[in-house]
Amino acid sequence: MKKGICSNCGVNLINRWQLKYCSNKCQFVAQYKKYIKEWKLGNKNGNVGIHTRNVSKHLKRYLSEKYGEHCSQCGWNKKHPKSKKVPIEIDHIDGNSENNLESNLRLLCPNCHSLTPNFKNLNHASKGRQWRNKKYIKNQ
């Protein structure tokens, strides 16, 4: 059987079950890099789910790595005692959850995020109905 090299890190594959990557961790890192590359090129919109508009975990990771795990407004960075992670949220500056351009996203603490004018559907009358009509009527 021909042995290959890992598509992500270049390590020689020595086990028979290793077809493309040397480990699951290497595979997940490669998937993350590919997703971010596709998102930056505009081929991925950054949302996950069919009926929801949740931001991809890859985008949150990318923003956390690029800008640090702290609130971009107040600088808050306290870690949760159990998860050891900063409970930071992604805010869409213009309030449009379909607009996942890097320039429209920022990391905010739960307090600062709750004080934004577009927090949790506060702009639902202006943009929500348009989004539903566009999504569901065009698919019929």
Per-residue pLDDT tens digits for 81-116: 999 999 999 999 888 888 899 999 999 999 999 999
Q: Which helix (H) or strand (E) holds 107?
A: strand 105-108
* 12-16, 82-86, 126-130: least confident range: 126-130
In a domain, 12, yes or no: no
Asked whether residue 15 is assigned to any structural domain, the reply reads no
CA-to-CA distance for 135 and 140, rounded, in angstroms? 9
Considering the entire predicted model, what is its pTM?
A: 0.75
Is 70 contained in some domain?
yes
Distance, CA of 76 to CA of 81 (rounded, Å):
15
> What domain range is 41 assigned to?
24-137
What six digits make up the tokens of 97? 């959850």
Give the number of domains in the chain.
Answer: 1
The predicted model gives 42-67 an average pLDDT of 87
Residue 102 lies in a domain: yes
Q: Is the pLDDT confidence value at 6 over 70?
A: yes
